[in-house]
A and B are shown apart, each in its own frame.
Chain A
Amino acid sequence: PPPQARSPLLPNPTQPYGREEDFLGWVGTRGDPTRGRWPRGRRPAPPQPIMPGMQELMEGLRAAWNSGDGQNVGRAFYLPARPDQLVAEVAAALKTGQNSEALATQVFGGGIPFAGVFEAHLNALGALGKGSWANAFGHVHDAFERFGALLKAATEPEDVEFFLPALKVLARDLTVAATKADAGVEGSKHLRKAEIALKNTFNAMMKDRSGARKPALLFVAAQLFQVYSRLNNIPFAKTLVKTLARPSTLEGVRQLKADTITYNYYCGRLFVFEDQFAEAERYLSYAFAKCHRGAVGNKRRILAYLVPVRILLGQMPTEQLLAKYQLPHFLGVCRGIRTGDLRLFESALADHQELFIRQGNFLILERTRRLCHRSLVKKVQRVAGYGPDNTRVRLGDLENAFRFLGA
């Protein structure tokens, strides 16, 4: 039986992924969920994550705070992407006149600065209940700032270790809220504010001499990457990469594998953008290899960049892979390059041009046109009867081939 959740708060950390519906089958089993497992037979569905109401949230938070469990304290601050029961409850409570400050002190007892962070979080949830992401972002930003002040004041390494998971969750909240607040609006002031806040945090973590804050660098960097790509400004992240690439920065620092993978993915994307394909391939392959086997969505995202880079470096993906991870837009391109079918290649590029431009793969795939030409030339050589003794292909033949394919 799957292990029990360790806390009443969501999400269940032991089974964050791995839903039955997502499973596409081990390679070669064609989507059959019962094959390749022991004992055979349908397994029961994993438990749904528990959505706490407000009372449970507060109780769980108090329990975690008192027991010194930083992970669960952080988990209390997840901002739901869609308004749900928790949000509704909080909004109702706030509307009936209960003060969020009072609620926060109720959780922690008086005189603890952490209560301020929780109060701002409650305000954010209340604003979400009213449906305004801009206000919610304001409160989340507030929470983040207060938390930053708290973290700066914390001097002992145990305290810092206690607070770091909450920082991760709050950074993610900040990014999500900024994205949603800027969704329909022109200009991206929320994202810019978020960027400034995250950058300050990053610098503060860097400056800490005791090194207790260094594990935070990776996930703050990951959020910063996310913000920069939403701001359409990926080259700004170069400074982050330079800082983190220095061996002295992350030496001897305990890092979560998840953070490393995320960071590698973003780093690889940055290198793809800057045309450094060897480096990009290294980072993206590492991320893909170390990714959790059930995290199909994340693997798909990594593959969206890894596939074009590998094509350019000469390694073609199999059609099984593209089918497994649902990347049909690469099918036409790959088949065109493999068989030298220029018409198919061009039509595939034209069909999915929007998608490629949005992902930023457009230029890479245009470069693979050379490989397509190469395959075509090889084919012409084979077909038109040039053997090992007669290697000089007449250009007229090649020209005919290209004209035939509509070049």
Chain B
Amino acid sequence: LCMEMCPAAEVQLRENHREIEAFERPFRGDEAAARNDYGVEPCPGLPVKKYQRSAADHKLNRPEEVRPPAVLHRTEDYLERYVLDSDLVPQDERFARPKVGKISADLLEDVYMFYWNRNRMVRKDFLLQNFTGGGRVSSLAMNVLERSARCLILFEHLLGDNADFRRMHLEQNEKQLNETLTACMAQYTGARAAHGNGVGDNSADYLRVLATTGLASPFEPELTAYYVAFHIRNRITVSYFLKELAPGLRKHPAVQEALRAFTAMHSEDWAQYFRILRTTPNLILRCLLSFADKLAFVRETAVESLNAARDVPIAAVAEWLLFEDEKRHCERLHGGVAQMARSPVKVVTTAPKAGAAKMTPLSTKAKMTTPSKSRLHIQTGRASPHFSGAGRDYASCGSPISIADPLMMHQSAASNSFEPVLVRKRARELRQMTRRENLVPAVPFIYGTGGGARTTSSNNKVFANNATLFDESNNNDDVTDGLFCSVIAYGDK
């Protein structure tokens, strides 16, 4: 069994073929680790096993190359902590290439490609050890699958505006997300079946399983909600899935919320769908529900039903349908309506009045809050190119929830400077971390997740001290692990 993140043979092979990626190279200031000046050597301990397809001459299930679940958990931790926010680190000289002119991994896409590739191999290693499908069940596998699912959802949300991403990677990402969620659900049902509940007994409460066996994950309702939200357009799949859910799980508020969104979508109740989208405190559910196809579908039904009205104030519609700005919305609306070949929407393109609250909404169920344009824009710390497009956004209404403001977070964090000194220190930490003793660096995590390690079984005592600094203390369900963990300031649920 391979106890490193990447088997030594593969490191050697890739080094020979010059396939070491930028994330796996040593830092510029770290002379002790670099063996030559060109930096094409891998930093020891940094490479992660790359995704390969099994070929006739290259069998993937050789025991010396397959990583056991503990190592896979460690790999996922590493990916989330040290790779995912790399695009926010300026001055990371590993990416300095005179030709291209980059000085840091300032493109989210680089991070995404690396993370996606390595995460796929992590999941494939689980598959090779029979952890998915109807096979073995493990809390480590559950944990890793959950986090992978969350990261995939967030990536799709963040990169959705990028035309390249949409063209090349969107379907693959969705496919992988589908597989991850399915595997996760299979793990949950496997855990139930394996521990005395039986498949036919749907009245078992998942808390009981949690208490007795330690094999259940506290995020089960959250992930079930994501599964429902992912397949929300597919009535048959979700109906059958709901039939097989245990009642305790189905009554959980997270799952009930996803169920409400599901019924809203299929009974053409667009107002309810958008209300859930606006007011759910679960950020990842928001990301899921605002995937392009689902959002477009609900918007179409909304526009169809709004067509029956005489005058539709565009500001109100922009707010209801959660468009970011009105001009684009106007274009899309006219374009969309022309496609639908119905009587055109007579859109009133007046400026929003101050007393716009009195405007009559068409669905009586839509609560009219005062439309304030400032709240329509997403509050993020990222540069606007990520979110300037239409259609891939969600408004934060109510209390201003900042989904990810890493700059603010960084400024308020404890040790907080972007000097290269820290980069070197971090390299040392990394090397320590990847030693067999699994030492945890004493320096608090700068970027992102402190809550990465969930200890649900005694195997993971090593990581117990990790789950401290930016940990979620109260609400397990709504913490988004991985990317923006330490951020969350909620409105009330």
CA distance A185 to B360 in the complex (A): 56
CA distance A112 to B250 in the complex (A): 56
Contact yes or no, A370 B364, CB < 8 A = no
Asked if A286 is at the interface (CB within 8 A of a chain B CB), the reply is no
Select which of B200, B267, B364 is within 8 A of A402 by beta carbon: B364
Instruction: Evaluate whether A186 and B134 lie within 8 angstroms (CB atoms) in the complex, with A366-B263, A395-B364 already known.
Output: yes
> A61 CB to closest chain B CB, in angstroms?
35
> B102 CB to closest chain A CB, in angstroms?
51
Asked if A399 is at the interface (CB within 8 A of a chain B CB), the reply is yes
Closest chain B residue, CB of each to CB of A377: B364
Asked if B193 is at the interface (CB within 8 A of a chain A CB), the reply is yes
CB contacts (< 8 Å) of A234 on chain B: these are 236
Contact yes or no, A366 B267, CB < 8 A = yes
Asked if B461 is at the interface (CB within 8 A of a chain A CB), the reply is no
CB contacts (< 8 Å) of B134 on chain A: these are 186-187
- Interface-side segment among B55-63, B211-219, B239-247, B403-411: B239-247
Interface string of A354-377 (1 = CB under 8 A from B): 100110101100110110010001
Using a Cβ–Cβ cut-off of 8 Å, how many residues does chain B contribute to the interface with A?
Answer: 22
> A379 CB to closest chain B CB, in angstroms?
14
Interface string of B229-243 (1 = CB under 8 A from A): 000000110011011
CB contacts (< 8 Å) of B365 on chain A: these are 402, 407
Contact yes or no, A369 B243, CB < 8 A = no
Main secondary structure of the interface of A (DSSP, over half): helix
CB contacts (< 8 Å) of B199 on chain A: these are 184-186
CB contacts (< 8 Å) of A235 on chain B: these are 236
Contact yes or no, B364 A354, CB < 8 A = no
Asked if B375 is at the interface (CB within 8 A of a chain A CB), the reply is no
CB contacts (< 8 Å) of A370 on chain B: these are 267
CB contacts (< 8 Å) of B364 on chain A: these are 373, 377, 395, 398-399, 402
CB contacts (< 8 Å) of B267 on chain A: these are 363, 366-367, 369-370
Closest chain B residue, CB of each to CB of A353: B250
Select which of A363, A373, A377 is within 8 A of B235 by beta carbon: A363
Asked if A232 is at the interface (CB within 8 A of a chain B CB), the reply is yes
Asked if A183 is at the interface (CB within 8 A of a chain B CB), the reply is yes
CB contacts (< 8 Å) of A363 on chain B: these are 235, 239, 263, 266-267
Asked if A65 is at the interface (CB within 8 A of a chain B CB), the reply is no
Instruction: Evaluate whether A357 and B243 lie within 8 angstroms (CB atoms) in the complex, with A186-B193, A367-B267, A369-B267 already known.
Output: yes
Select which of B250, B266, B361 is within 8 A of A366 by beta carbon: B266
Interface residues of A in 370-407 (CB under 8 A from B): 370, 373, 377, 395, 398-399, 402, 407
Asked if B444 is at the interface (CB within 8 A of a chain A CB), the reply is no
CA distance A354 to B251 in the complex (A): 10
Contact yes or no, B239 A362, CB < 8 A = yes
Taking residues whose C-beta sits less than 8 angstroms from the other chain, chain A's interface range is: 20 to 34
CA distance A367 to B269 in the complex (A): 9
Asked if A273 is at the interface (CB within 8 A of a chain B CB), the reply is yes
> A351 CB to closest chain B CB, in angstroms?
11
CB contacts (< 8 Å) of A186 on chain B: these are 134, 193, 199
Asked if B198 is at the interface (CB within 8 A of a chain A CB), the reply is yes
CB contacts (< 8 Å) of A395 on chain B: these are 360-361, 364
CB contacts (< 8 Å) of B266 on chain A: these are 363, 366-367
Contact yes or no, A357 B242, CB < 8 A = yes
CB contacts (< 8 Å) of A275 on chain B: these are 235
CA distance A399 to B242 in the complex (A): 33
Contact yes or no, B198 A184, CB < 8 A = yes
> A110 CB to closest chain B CB, in angstroms?
45
Contact yes or no, B200 A183, CB < 8 A = yes
Interface string of B264-287 (1 = CB under 8 A from A): 001101000000000000000000
CB contacts (< 8 Å) of A407 on chain B: these are 365
CA distance A236 to B360 in the complex (A): 46
Contact yes or no, A273 B200, CB < 8 A = no
CA distance A99 to B267 in the complex (A): 61
CA distance A353 to B256 in the complex (A): 11
CA distance A395 to B367 in the complex (A): 11
CB contacts (< 8 Å) of B247 on chain A: these are 354
CB contacts (< 8 Å) of A362 on chain B: these are 239, 242, 263
Interface string of A333-363 (1 = CB under 8 A from B): 0000000000000000000011001101011
Interface string of B359-383 (1 = CB under 8 A from A): 0110011000000000000000000
CA distance A161 to B235 in the complex (A): 43
CB contacts (< 8 Å) of B263 on chain A: these are 362-363, 366
Closest chain A residue, CB of each to CB of B368: A399
> A367 CB to closest chain B CB, in angstroms?
5
> B419 CB to closest chain A CB, in angstroms?
56
> A387 CB to closest chain B CB, in angstroms?
21
CB contacts (< 8 Å) of A398 on chain B: these are 364
List the 9 shortest-distance A-B pairs measured between CB atoms, nearest first.
A366-B263, A186-B199, A367-B267, A232-B240, A357-B242, A366-B267, A398-B364, A184-B200, A395-B360
Task: Known pairs A232-B240, A395-B361; list 12 more (Cβ under 8 Å).
Answer: A183-B200, A184-B198, A185-B199, A275-B235, A357-B243, A357-B250, A362-B263, A363-B235, A369-B267, A369-B269, A395-B364, A402-B365
A to B CB contacts below 8 Å, 28 in the list: A184-B198, A186-B134, A186-B199, A232-B240, A232-B243, A273-B236, A275-B235, A357-B239, A358-B243, A360-B239, A360-B243, A362-B263, A363-B266, A363-B267, A366-B266, A366-B267, A367-B267, A369-B267, A369-B269, A370-B267, A373-B364, A377-B364, A395-B360, A395-B361, A395-B364, A398-B364, A399-B364, A407-B365
Interface residues of chain A, those whose CB is within 8 Å of chain B, are: 183-187, 232, 234-235, 273, 275, 353-354, 357-358, 360, 362-363, 366-367, 369-370, 373, 377, 395, 398-399, 402, 407
